[in-house]
């Protein structure tokens, strides 16, 4: 598939570990990047490349990739991690494309 597929919603208990996945054929060739978006705010980059975190992003965020699936893992989820998460890669033309987003609820 030329699309990127994400689960619409995922929940995690406070302090537990959660994995958010992104599937698509392009992920066999390109690493994904991941963005966190809270209501009314602009997206914020949290992971890019093999597993790189921008300055200021807590180390509880990590990324991985296997086959056609990229994953964002939050180890010890906090209340402030509740947000929408979007994966990004490229389409068959080499242009950016996003997954549909995953709404993370921290219980």
Partner 1 sequence: EVQLVESGGGLVQPGRSLRLSCTASGFTFGDYAMSWFRQAPGKGLEWVGFIRSKAYGGTTEYAASVKGRFTISRDDSKSIAYLQMNSLKTEDTAVYYCTRDHTRTGSRPYNWFDPWGQGTLVTVSS
Residues 26-65 that bind partner 1 (CB under 8 A): 29-33, 35, 37, 42-45, 48-49, 54
The yes or no reply on residue 95 touching partner 1 (CB under 8 A) is yes
**Shortest Å distance, C-beta 48 to partner 1:** 4
The answer to whether the beta carbons of residues 80 and 74 sit under 8 Å apart is no
Please give the span between the terminal C-alpha atoms of the chain, in angstroms, as a whole number: 33
Q: What's the half-sphere exposure (Cβ side, CA atoms, 13 Å) at 22?
A: 32
Binding segment (CB under 8 A) for partner 1, from list 12-20, 73-81, 99-107: 99-107
- Nearer to partner 1 by Cβ, of 24 and 99: the residue is 99
Determine phi and psi for 25, rounding to 5 degrees.
-60, -35
Binding segment (CB under 8 A) for partner 1, from list 12-20, 71-79, 85-93: 85-93
- Please state, in angstroms and rounded to a whole number, the distance separating the CA atoms of residues 7 and 14: 20
**Shortest Å distance, C-beta 41 to partner 1:** 8
**Exposed (0-12), middle (13-18) or buried (19+): which is 50, by Cβ within 10 Å?**
exposed
- Nearer to partner 1 by Cβ, of 44 and 60: the residue is 44
The yes or no reply on residue 85 touching partner 1 (CB under 8 A) is no
């Amino acid at each position: 598939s030329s699309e990127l597929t994400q689960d619409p919603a995922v929940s995690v208990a406070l302090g537990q570990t959660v994995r958010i996945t992104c599937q698509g054929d392009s992920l066999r060739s390109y690493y994904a990047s991941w963005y966190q978006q809270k209501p009314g705010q602009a997206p914020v980059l949290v992971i890019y490349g093999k597993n790189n975190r921008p300055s200021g992003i807590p180390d509880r965020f990590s990324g991985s990739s296997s086959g056609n699936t990229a994953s964002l893992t939050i180890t010890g989820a906090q209340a402030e991690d509740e947000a929408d998460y979007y994966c990004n890669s490229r389409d068959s033309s080499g242009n950016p494309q996003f997954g549909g987003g995953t709404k993370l609820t921290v219980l």
